[in-house]
Amino acid sequence: MAASVTDRTPHLGVSQPISTLRPDQKDIVMTDQLIATLKKFNSYEPKEETEKRMEVLRSLNRLVKEWVKKVTAIKIPSGEGANAGGKLFTFGSYRLGVHSSGADIDTLAVVPRHIDRTDFFTSFKEMLRQDPNVTELHGVEEAFVPVMKLKYSGVELDILFARLALKEVPDTQDLFDDQLLRNLDQESVRSLNGCRVAELLLKLVPRQKEFCIALRAIKLWAKNHGIYSNSMGFFGGISWAILVARACQLYPNASASRIVHRMFFIFSTWTWPHPVLLSALDQDRNDIPTLCDLIWDPRKKNSDRFHLMPIITPAFPEQNSTHNVTRSTCHIIRNEICEGLEICKDITEGKATWEDLFKEVKFFSRYKHYIGMFFFLNCDHNLSAYLSSDHGYIHRRRGIELWRFLESRIRLLVQSLERNQDILIAHNDTNKHRPSPNAKFDVRPENTRITIWFIGLEFAEHATNLDLTSEIQRFRTNVELQASGVKGIGPNSQVEIDMFYMKRTRLFSIIGAAALKKGRDWKPPKNPPPPMGQVPYRTTVARTSSTNSVPTTPTTLVAPSTPLSEAMPSSEPDSTTNNGTPVSRKRLVQEATSTSETVTTSTLEDVPPEKRTRDDTLEEPILEMVVEVANGVVEESREVELDKDNGHLNGSNGLEASEKHMEVPQSV
């Protein structure tokens, strides 16, 4: 009798499992092959590195306790706080057991109530600075979630801070009790949320080992397919972890390889925007009324009704981890999941391997038309010499924070482009690029850091002329103004944003052939995802009937209606080289008080916008981008040969007979 109780399948989640079948010999072999492939892709770290991480965490935990003890002796000299304690928690990929070699560790320093955040960024920071094992110490006190960044014995760490309303924080302290959130400041609540979500997530999966292996696979797949970035409108690490955890709940006895397959199966047929839940929502929390407004509840909050793919975190206050998803990224994620299902089916039938699932996908094989964004960081000193010095570390750190800020703004341009009825998809690349050595710009490279992002465009068949000037200019103005408030930009430094349109066949003049050929070609799934549910603000536009990812009609830039030759000064040199490489940026000046415009003419077919000169006394220029979609079909020239993958995917899902007609539980 005891044996039957021990072998009983755990039932977790908001519904009954789909299948409780246990792994057979084939599942075990496929899981071993999956683990071997993950190791080949460096998804696991060496044993020596793991031991080093554990030693670093033990040392930091001791430092936290020593720091709390010293501050307590100053603030409570009576000795009543001798057992104040303090504890270092971990969360994120390290706590979930899916971190890779070289990844940083997310930690949280939890302290009693008489220690405040000022102490954390003063006395604790000074204690770390005096430790010989600490390098590259940098505090970001003004961040949405204040954090201390450092390297300890070569291991990179982020340390958050949270103060509990307790006299003592013993070694046995956990963070599961929701009452710990009472009377806390918002920064502490946000800092605690990461640890609480990670701990509850591990408690809500039936078998942690299989969950960790499957999550490693899904994270590697998502990164190589360019759909792993919460800030850019895709899914972040916690969102993918919740999806894998839900698959584990529905298949509690499955092997890791089967969980990967079933994750694709479940969410390729998921009726979005039904939410993904690991546990029932507790929306009536009168005991903590101050945090109830943070709970995801589309019945009461209008903003929650517009979320396209809600994935709800399990810890109170339950929130949507995918609120940044746009219409385009939703379409892209669902297509990638369907393709993943087809590849997993081929793996099961022996027609493919796990390497086929994890191969990096070439972004520039998806579309024929792109918008490029140049981000220029003009500095007030010789940047190359400064960044190579020890004093340049803080600037490097703040530069990283600046690029992260710019990445998070790109999705706003995507949302703006989606409102155009002639644009079906606006797909932002999650990878930034460095310009080709042959590309030339009208800025001095020793004083400038240049980064390029791309957005792929798919147009409707009925599209004729697309005037994107207002969207581009609004985005450019807003981001440049917001970037001026990012800490780390000097008084004589500024961020400039310029954009251009370009066809795929001309990209070689910007980023080089190596970046264009990296990865395999993208292939649309043979069985595309079913139509979305009743999304409140989904734009209804005619989609192309072609199986290609873009329409067959070519797109070109069109010059403004005002003849440019009338305003062009005769002394202005041509702004392009003979091979079409951009040497400057295109700008159109619209001055209300001026009666004339000074611009430069050039051929606008297939080349980036040119720089249009202006008088230095004029106001900030307006960047114009007008795209014309012709009716004819133009055969593309192939200056850069893109490798083609001739493989074909079978459309069957490869399910057991008992699952083919079974509806996946969506929500309670």
Active site residue 362: no
Q: Which amino acid is at 14?
A: V
Contacts of 11 (CB under 8 A, 6+ apart): 17, 252
Active site residue 521: no
Catalytic residue, from 43, 93, 188, 229: name it: 93
356 labelled as ligand-binding? no
Q: Do 215 and 241 meet the contact criterion of CB atoms below 8 Å apart?
A: yes
Catalytic residue, from 87, 219, 223, 523: name it: 219
526 labelled as ligand-binding? no
Active site residue 501: no
Catalytic residue, from 94, 152, 228, 370: name it: 228
Q: Residue with structure tokens 């940026």?
A: 585
Catalytic residue, from 59, 116, 123, 158: name it: 158
Active site residue 637: no
Tokens standing for residue 657: 């007979």
Q: Do 150 and 63 meet the contact criterion of CB atoms below 8 Å apart?
A: no
Catalytic residue, from 43, 94, 106, 509: name it: 106
In angstroms, the CA 32 to CA 27 distance is 9
In angstroms, the CA 435 to CA 534 distance is 42
153 labelled as ligand-binding? no
Active site residue 301: no
91 labelled as ligand-binding? yes
456 labelled as ligand-binding? no
The count of other CB atoms within 10 Å of the CB of residue 658 is 10
Give me the count of residues in the chain. Answer: 668
Residue 121 DSSP code: I
How much is the CA Rg of the chain, to the nearest whole Å? 27
CA neighbours within 13 Å on the CB side: how many for 636?
19
219 labelled as ligand-binding? yes
CA neighbours within 13 Å on the CB side: how many for 260?
32
Contacts of 162 (CB under 8 A, 6+ apart): 108, 109, 110, 111, 184, 188, 191, 192
Q: Do 80 and 53 meet the contact criterion of CB atoms below 8 Å apart?
A: no
Q: What are phi and psi of 368, to 5 degrees?
A: -100, -15
3-state SS class at 102: coil
Active site residue 389: no
432 labelled as ligand-binding? no
**Residues annotated catalytic, as ranges:** 93, 104, 106, 158, 219, 228
Binding residues: 91-93, 104-106, 158, 219, 228
Per the annotation, binding residues for Mg(2+) are: 104, 106, 158
